[in-house]
Structure 1
C-alpha cells in the first residue's frame, strides 16, 4: 500500500500562489484582448465557431442559440450568457467601430434596450470578418492549440489583417486591472500603419497626423485635442467628449435645441438619465428657458429636442447642459492588452508595432506554405514534362513490368532486371532514368488524355506560372520591402472596401462656462415625513399649517434656500443635500424621497439627527453609540464640501444612537435597554476629532445596550420612562462617567 505523504507549507504561500493563478487566468483567458488580433478569447472562439459551422456572409443566417451552444460545448465552457453577450456586442454598430457579426433580429438599441433571447435572433459572419479576420486559416498561418478537454483544436489567435484593437477598441475588467480602448477610424488606422511600416522611427505625434484621434460610432466631439499626444504616448489619460447640439428655428420666433449626437459614454441607460437630469434642472428652477423635452430618436439616429422660450439664452443653456448633465463626459483611456503572454499598457506606436510584427509573422508563414506547395507542384510538373519526352519508353516499361513496384523502381532507380524490353537500346535508356518518388507516382497515375498536344501545352504554361509564383514567393520571403508592399496592398484593399467617413470631430473646445440664475436668499422650512419624503415651504406657510405639519412630519428643520441640510445616520456617516435640490412649493405639494437627492439610503441607514449647515457653526455635537461610546465634536469639522463624509469612527457591531447639539453646562443621563440609568456632567465628555472613537460613558452589563439619552440643565425637572414607569432624571444621584449606573425597580 502506497504511503500518503503530507507536505507542510505556509498557508499564506499556498493562498498567494492560488490567487495569482486565478488572477492570471482571468486576465489572459477571459478579460483582456490580445494585442495581435484585438480579440478576447470569447470573441475569438465565437467567430471561429461560426467559421467552422460555415455561417458565412453569403449564406443564410443561423439561430444564435445554435452558435452559442456549439461555442460553449467545443471551446468556451464558461456559460452561455457571456458568449451571447459577446456575440451581441460584435453585432451592435453603435458600440463597435466595425461590426464583426451580421445580426438579424432584435440586437438591442443605443438607448439601452437589451437584445432578444438567443432563440429568437439569428446571425452570420460579416463580410470583413471573413475576409480580414478568418482568411488563410488553412495555410498554417497561426498555431492551433487543444481546447479545454483536448477533443478539438482552436486557433491560438486569429489571423486578423487590420489593427482590430484600435478599430474596435476594447473594454474589460480583470483582477486588479482594467482595459478601456476607444474605437478609431479604419481608414486612418490603416494610414498610420502604412506610415509606420515606411518609417519605423516615426513618433507618436507624427502618427497622429494620420490617425487624428478616437472615432466613436456615436459621433460627438472630442474637445481636448491638445491632450491626445500625451494620451497616445503613454496609453492612459482622459478624453473629454461632448454631444453635438444644433439650433433649429421653431414657430413664432422660438428656437429649439436638437441633440443629434451623444458622447459614447452615454450609450444605454445614460440617455434616460440625461432626460431625467434635464427634467430635474427644470424642476429645480435652474433654468426657465426649457418649455418641453421630447426624445424623437429612431433607427435613423439620435434626436432629442428641447423646446425653448422666446429670447432664451441659448449659449448659456448649452453650457448648462455640458456642465450639469452627461452631455459632456470623460472617456478614461487605459490601453491595456495581452502582449507576449502578459498584460501591458501600450501607447499608439507600440500597438502598431505589435500589429506590424504580427503581420510579418502571418505573411512569412503564409508564403512559406504557398512556396512549399509550388515547389511540390514544380517537382511533379517537371517530372511529367520529362516523361512526355520519353513517353514511348515509359509505355514499354509499363507493358514489360509484372507489378507497379517494378515499374516504379525502374523509373526512380533505373532497375531493369524484372522488366521485359523489346530492344536492348530501350533497356539501356531505362537504366538511366532517375525520376523522384513523387514524379514516378504522378507518372504512374497520369491519364492517357494528358498526352494530347494541347494538354502538354497547358502543362508547359502551368509550369511557367509555377516558376513565376516560386520566384514571387521567394522574393517576398527574402526581401523586406517586397513583404512590406504585400501587406500595404492588402491594407489598401480593406481601406477601399470598408473605410468610412470620420464621425467624431476632434478640436480644442472652449471651457463651458455656465452662469446660474441668482436665487434670492430666504428662510424656508424643511419637512421630512416618516416615509422619508421631503419638501420645503416658506416660513409663513409653515406657521399657517403648523399643527398639521408637526403631526405629519418626523423632522422639521429651519434652513436657508441657498444652504445645505446635514443628515447624520446610525452608520456614522454624514450626508449633505442642497436645499435648492429639494422641491419647494405649497404645503400640500408633492414631496420626493430624500434618498433621490443625495447618497443617503433609507434601506441601509437610519437618520438620527438632521440640521441646517449653518447650525453647525460655533456649535458642538454630542455623539452617543449603542456600546456607550461618547465624544463631543466641534461643528466646524462637518463644514465640508463632500456629499458624504465619515462623521465618527465606530467599533465593530456598534451604531450611533444619537447626535445632539449641546450647551456648555448640562447633565447627561444614559439609559440602557436593561433599565440602568447613569447621570453625570457633560463636562466629563472630552472634545475629540470626528475620526476618533470617543470614550466610554457607562459600564454596560453583558448584552445590554444604550437605548436613550437625555440632556438637561440643573434644576430642570426632566422625566424619563422605562417599561411605562416614569423616572425623575434630576433626582438621580450625580455620578462620574464610566460608572455602572442605577437599576430601575419596577
Structure 2
C-alpha cells in the first residue's frame, strides 16, 4: 500500500469519528404495528425507549388532576363534581333514586358505577350537600349503606344556593364530547374544609381534616377583614383533640384525638365518643387485641351503639378505672394521631397549602364570585330598564303610528328609529336594531291596555335595584361579609362544634398529658436473675426474683467491671456473670447512684454521685476508665436526691506512716453529676474495704429508703489511738470474700420492689 493511500484511509477514519451519530428513532404511537425500518435492510423493529416513562407520567398526571386530589376552587374531586352536576340536572324538588343518579352521572364519569356509588355515599354521609333518605350506612359503626336501588337523595337548599351559578360557570365537553360539564363549580363556601378530603395519587397524597361549619364562616369573615385566622378541626364523631401541633393544617403538623371515656363505676368505663377515622367495631377490636397481648386487662365489652356511641368496658376487680384509662389511650385506638397534608389542585398543578391559605383563598374567591354575579345582575337590570323606557316612549309618543305609511320592512325600522332619535339622550346606551325589532313585536292588545302609571313604577323599581346593586359593588367586602353572615344564620342551626379542643382555663391550647406506654402497661411479668450464669429475664422462674415488670420494659445492668448497659427485656438474655445490679429501667426514674471505685492507673480512690441521663439501648457506657486494676469498692442506689450514703473507708492496716486508718465520708457533700465524671478523690492510700457507716440507732445495714435525712458533720481530727478504739467499737466484722457480696434486708426477695441500695466489701485490693 502506498503512502498516499494510507493517508487517505486515515483521513476517512478521522472524518467518520468526527461525524455525529444519527439519533435513535423514538417511539411514535402512529407507527405501532408498522415498525421502524433499519437502513441496512434488517427486519422491522419497534423501539420502546422511554415509552414507559412517558406513559407513566401521563398516567400520574391524570390520576392527580382527574381522580384523587380535590380542586382548591370548589373543593371537589371530579367524580364528586359530576355527581352534583347530574343531581342538578335531575333536580325537581323531589327525591331521586341513587341508582338513577348513578346512571345519569355515567354520561360524565367514565370509570363505572361502583366508583360513582361509593363517592355518592361518602358525600351523603357528610350531611352537607346531599339530603338523604333511606339506609345510608353509619359512620359510627362502619355499617355500609343499602343498595343504590333502595335509597334516595336530592340536593340540600344549602347546595342549591352555594354550589350552582350557571352564569358564572366555566363549561367543558364531557369525555365523549356529547355533553357539557363544569370545569369547577363557582362555590361560595370552602366545601373542602367543611367535609375534609383524603386521596392517594401517584407520588403524593392528600389528607384534609374536616372543620366546623360555623367556625369556617367566621374565619372567612376574619380573612375578608384582614384579621388573623384561627381554625381548628372538628370531627363528626366528636372526641377530644390536642391541636398544639396542628401548624395551621399545613404539611408536617399533627393532631392527636382521643375518645371520650366516662367512669361509670370503679370497674366500669363507658366510651361515648370515638376518634376520627375509627368506628366502634375497629375500636373494640383494638381493645381486644391489646387485651390478648397482655397490655391491658379487660373482663368484657358491650357495644350498645345506636344513634349515639355507647361502648361499655368492664374491668377485672383487680384493675381500677383510673389505672385502665391511660392504658386504653396508650395501646388502643382510643387515641389516634392524624397528620394533615393539604394537597389541592390550584392553577392546574398540585399545591401544598395550609388551612389558613385555603380559608383566605376561598374568602377572596367568594367575594369575586359575588362581584361577578352582581355585575351580571346589574347588566340584566339595566337591560330591563332600557327596554321598559323604550316601550314607554314608543307607546306614549305613539311612534308606532309612523309605520302605517311605510310599505317595506326597512322603511318600518327606519321610521321607528327616526321617531326615537329625540329621546336618545335619556338612555344609557345606544338604541340598536334589536331594540327596534323587540318594539315591533309588541302586540296591539298590550298597546291598547298600556298603563303609564304602572310603567313609571316599573321603571322606578328598576332604578332602585340598579342603585342598590351599584352600592354593593362599591363595597364588595361589606357585601361579602353580609352574605356569609346570612349563610350562618340560615344554615348554622344544629352545626355546633362536636369535638372538644384541649385548652387551659385561660383558653390557650394545651397538649394531652404524656402517657408512657411502659408505665401504664400491666406489669404481669417478673424479672428474674441468675447471678452465677449471668442470665436475666422473665422466664427464669426458678432463679432470684428482682421485681415486677412488663414485656415493654427495659433493663439496666451494672457490671462489676464498671460498665453500664440498657437492654430490652426478654424471656432470657445474657447480662454478664455476677453483675452489681440488674433492675427495670425507667427513663424518668429519679434514682441517684453512689459509687466508690479505685482508678487502676493512679491507684487513687474516687467517690461519685450521678444520675443515668439519656442512654441508647444496647450501648455500653463505662462509668470510669477501663483498667485491669480498676475496681468498685462501694455501690448504692437511692430513690431521691435527699437520700445519700454515709460510708467508712478502711485503709490498709499495714500502712505505718498513716495515722488515721478510717475515713468517714457522706455523699451529701457531693453534687449530682453525669455518669461519665471522674468524681472526687477520697484518698491516694491503699484501701482495705469500704462499708456503710453505722446509723444513730446502731443499725449499719443499708436501707432503700430513709425516713429522715441526717447530715453528719465532718469529724474533727482525733488522735490515732482514739480513732482505732472508736473504730473497733463501731466496725462490723469484714466479710472474707474475694468476690463482691451483696447485702439485702431480708432473705426472701420482694418481686414488687427492687433493691434500692447494695453494698460490696472487698477483702483484696
Q: 1:214 aligns with which of 222, 230, 233?
A: 233
Q: 2:438 aligns with which of 439, 442, 460?
A: 442
- 1-structure distance, mates of 2:317, 2:574: 44
Aligned residues of 2:79 and 2:119 also touching (Cα < 8 A): yes
Gaps of 5+ in 2: 1-29, 39-45, 503-510, 529-534, 541-548, 553-569, 577-616, 620-765
Q: 1:106 aligns with which of 119, 135, 140?
A: 135
- 2-structure distance, mates of 1:196, 1:273: 39
- Could you tell me how far 1:215 is from its partner in structure 2? 0.3
Partner residue, 2:612: none
Partner residue, 2:244: 226
Q: 1:48 aligns with which of 71, 74, 85?
A: 85
Aligned residues of 2:290 and 2:332 also touching (Cα < 8 A): no
Partner residue, 1:198: 225
Please tell me whether Structure 1 or Structure 2 has the larger radius of gyration of its CA atoms.
Answer: 2
Partner residue, 1:246: 262
Partner residue, 2:156: 126
Aligned residues of 2:523 and 2:550 also touching (Cα < 8 A): no
Partner residue, 1:68: 102
Alignment of 1:267-286 (within 5 A): 267=279, 271-283=280-292, 285-286=294-295
Aligned residues of 1:235 and 1:348 also touching (Cα < 8 A): no
Q: 2:110 aligns with which of 77, 81, 95?
A: 77
- Could you tell me how far 1:172 is from its partner in structure 2? 0.5
Q: 1:142 aligns with which of 165, 169, 189?
A: 169
- Could you tell me how far 1:79 is from its partner in structure 2? 1.2
Partner residue, 2:58: 21
- 2-structure distance, mates of 1:263, 1:25: 33
- 1-structure distance, mates of 2:203, 2:432: 61
Deviations 1:362-402 (A, max 9, x none): 223322322222222222112112123311xx343243333
Matched, 1:32 2:69: yes
Taking structure 1 as reference, are residues 105 and 472 closer, same or farther at Cα in structure 2, changes over 3 Å only? same
Partner residue, 2:276: 264
Taking structure 1 as reference, are residues 306 and 387 closer, same or farther at Cα in structure 2, changes over 3 Å only? same
- 2-structure distance, mates of 1:520, 1:327: 25
What is the total number of aligned residue pairs between the two structures?
Answer: 495
Deviations 1:69-88 (A, max 9, x none): 1111x110111111100100
- Could you tell me how far 1:258 is from its partner in structure 2? 0.8
Gaps of 5+ in 1: 417-427, 524-557, 564-577, 582-611, 619-638, 642-746
Taking structure 1 as reference, are residues 235 and 493 closer, same or farther at Cα in structure 2, changes over 3 Å only? farther
Taking structure 1 as reference, are residues 640 and 113 closer, same or farther at Cα in structure 2, changes over 3 Å only? farther
Aligned residues of 1:28 and 1:341 also touching (Cα < 8 A): yes
Aligned residues of 2:272 and 2:309 also touching (Cα < 8 A): yes
Q: 1:296 aligns with which of 283, 299, 304?
A: 304
Taking structure 1 as reference, are residues 382 and 32 closer, same or farther at Cα in structure 2, changes over 3 Å only? same
Q: 2:405 aligns with which of 400, 416, 419?
A: 400
- Could you tell me how far 1:214 is from its partner in structure 2? 0.3
Return the TM-score normalized by structure 2: 0.59
Alignment of 1:442-521 (within 5 A): 442-451=438-447, 455-477=451-473, 479=474, 482-499=475-492, 500-507=495-502, 508-513=511-516, 514-521=519-526
- 1-structure distance, mates of 2:537, 2:156: 61
Q: 1:364 aligns with which of 371, 387, 397?
A: 371
Aligned residues of 1:384 and 1:439 also touching (Cα < 8 A): no
Partner residue, 1:159: 186
Aligned residues of 1:220 and 1:243 also touching (Cα < 8 A): yes
- 1-structure distance, mates of 2:97, 2:257: 37
- Could you tell me how far 1:473 is from its partner in structure 2? 3.4
- Could you tell me how far 1:312 is from its partner in structure 2? 4.5
Aligned residues of 1:292 and 1:307 also touching (Cα < 8 A): yes
Deviations 1:323-353 (A, max 9, x none): 0101000111001100111000101232123
Deviations 1:264-291 (A, max 9, x none): 1213xxx323323333444555455x43
- 1-structure distance, mates of 2:499, 2:314: 26
Partner residue, 2:326: 319
- Could you tell me how far 1:114 is from its partner in structure 2? 1.8
- 2-structure distance, mates of 1:280, 1:561: 22
Give SS of 1:266's match: coil
Aligned residues of 1:284 and 1:580 also touching (Cα < 8 A): no
Give SS of 1:355's match: helix
- 2-structure distance, mates of 1:62, 1:226: 44
Matched, 1:306 2:313: yes
Aligned residues of 1:560 and 1:579 also touching (Cα < 8 A): no
Deviations 1:513-554 (A, max 9, x none): 55333334389xxxxxxxxxxxxxxxxxxxxxxxxxxxxxxx
- 2-structure distance, mates of 1:231, 1:196: 14
- Could you tell me how far 1:119 is from its partner in structure 2? 2.2
Matched, 1:340 2:336: no
- 2-structure distance, mates of 1:276, 1:50: 38
- 2-structure distance, mates of 1:415, 1:580: 98
Deviations 1:464-494 (A, max 9, x none): 22223333334444x3xx2222222221121
Taking structure 1 as reference, are residues 235 and 476 closer, same or farther at Cα in structure 2, changes over 3 Å only? farther
- 2-structure distance, mates of 1:408, 1:497: 51
Taking structure 1 as reference, are residues 339 and 640 closer, same or farther at Cα in structure 2, changes over 3 Å only? farther
Aligned residues of 1:409 and 1:415 also touching (Cα < 8 A): no
Return the TM-score normalized by structure 1: 0.61
- 2-structure distance, mates of 1:21, 1:520: 57
